[in-house]
A and B are shown apart, each in its own frame.
Chain A
Amino acid sequence: MTTLEIRNVSKTFGDVEVLRDISLAIEDGEFLVLVGPSGCGKTTLLNCLAGLENVTSGDILFNGRRVNDVAPKDRDIGMVFQNYALYPNMDVRGNIAFGLEMRKVPKAVQAEKIAEVARMLQIEPLLGRRPGQLSGGQRQRVAIGRALAREAGLFLFDEPLSNLDAKLRVEMRAEIKLLHQRTRTTSVYVTHDQVEAMTLGSRICIMKDARIQQFGTPRDLYQNPANLFVAGFIGSPAMNFIPVSPRRAGQELAFSLNAAETQTITLPAPPGAATADLVLGIRPEEITLAPAQGAGEAGLDCEILMVEPTGPDTLLSVMINGAKVQARVPPHVDFRPGERVRLALSPARMMLFDPGTGARISADR
């Protein structure tokens, strides 16, 4: 049972700033995902939470208590590492027991805990084996079991699934989610995979360049990205970005999506928005097939560059205003490259970004 608060945490290694003024708080039982590209500082932040690294400034609070100077072993945490970090010289039972033994848990209780965890993770047949005799997936199960047996107040996961193959990764992801639903232990999970972040997190903290880009629920990040980076990072296939040059028309911004200006779009002008060049963002699934010309509805006539059937739907690549754009359309129409297609881009689904700062300038939905 742990609430977690991070207050204005900064961390530098020599001249290199790895974390800059990070602040966030989560409730007891939440699953926080720290996600971002390599080198964004997410693993350093996790190590600071574990006490394996010290923060340069700022405070970390567990249950409202400042833990900056508390040793890792006294922080009541369990940690799962990317490379499993199992003790090679001990069998699975020994690996799970080690933390209990160090905390002087009576032998009988140890055996009970090990049995319980082994049952939960279905690793009972492996208890007598050494880590070297286990597959990657089995090792990760044992590593999770080791953290679980301790019944820590806070679980830290450092890219636990990165070393597993794709199929196993999806299975283990589901298992971690189920485990969290069952135990409700506050967890912090580091990954660079946005799908893992979206599927696991109760809240997600997106980081880049030592800073928080956005902190919110998965739905929040998907529907209301704060900037170009978040918009492009979350969602697969990624959001389309189309450069536009709007004109101000009263309370509205008007712009065209092709040179012939056959489709002009007007959006409510955000307060203070300049009429300089902007970036229009729209997700692939929000571009739909438009009825044939002359049916009265607006549509954008495009040439198909590439067709990628994925099964449940098909991705069409077209060029709009000089940008490559993907549309996610139903799979039952047989498109071919070189053909023309009419697409509808709903203004209600569009977002505007400042190309200089990357900041979102249109209102939340």
Chain B
Amino acid sequence: MITRRSLLKAAGTSAILVGGSHEFSRTVVSEAKAQAATLSLPTQLPEGTRQEAVLDALPGKQPLIKLAYRPPNYETPIELLRTAITPNDAFFVRYHLSDIPQINAQTWRLAIGGEGAGREMSLTFDELRQLPAVEVAAVCQCSGNRRGLFDPHVPGVEWGYGAMGCARWRGARLKDVLDRAGLKSEALEIVVAGTDNGAVDKTPQFVKSIPLWKAIEDTTLIAYEMNGAPLPHWNGFPARIIVPGWTATYWMKHVSKVDVVTRPFEGFWMKSAYRIPLGKFPVVSRFASQETAANTPITEMVVNSLMTSHTDGATVRAGSKVTVGGVAWDAGYGIDRVEMSTDGGGTWTAAALGEDLGRFAFRTFSYDVATPTKGSYRIMARATNRIGQSQVSALIANPAGYHHNVVQTLNLIAA
């Protein structure tokens, strides 16, 4: 069934549409069209993705690469990922469900409870802001970032490189909020729910759980600011969960409910979705209460890097040098080095690393490549973290298309 709420919302906003946002939308479309000429998509994406992806601006955002209008799934062009901090209006947007309410912070409440909590309580937005504030620079990356580059392709949102960004997130520690309600000794997982819903009643609401040990780390937050500004609507206004080091599936947007549970949470988005084969990836962080003999929830991000200074196939000047650079990140062990190869992976030389904004943040890197003669140059970048993990040279296949961290090759044409 169509939910009553969707229908009411539909009726209300349709009326507003008639009122006239046409002038605005024409401007947006023409700007997007002007830039669409320069939209450069990875050639490895499915042919259909390359046909339908366009630059398009959501309200309050720069033109991003639209993969799906509804629910909105927009990725950041690599040109906007050259800095350690991604601007709010360039930050990627990812939703599973299409009924996304506009929330008024003054009437918003965060409910805290569950059988593992000492008491039921709720917080207003002002009460949340009165708790000690913590700021963490951290990468938010969709589990399926680069899914579109899988060979063979797997179904899902066919992301290229840009379902990620890094921001300074400011908010209260989830731990401090949980302490106010009290944690029983048998508490096992923290269940977080947002306010977005499917268009039909039977669609499972997007609800996730986080193991208690991760939920009470000092860097796990309920954030209300992003790069010094309120969270954009499309990134979870008024508050979202921040789980530095872990993929964005746990970073619940528009969070409205936090429950302490004493048994493994059984929801669809834990039991059926966002799972990886057991033992295939070199991850340290485990979510033991959700593991089966075959698979486990995705947890921390794998070490990765992306050259963002040039698009693949770009033309550069021959008889000179070109500075190639980008960003590297991992699950919070910290980037140890980024190495570059211009001979197909035969030899590797260290790139210069940029400012360290903390172990969970993007780390910029740069490297000068000599281009003495005309012709093509192939440049590879490989990040290694402080616990010795490196990007892989061959894809680790998995059914849902997660954890793509294959070493990237950038082709430049010197002319």
- The answer to whether A and B interact is no
Chain B residues engaging chain A, CB cutoff 8 angstroms = none
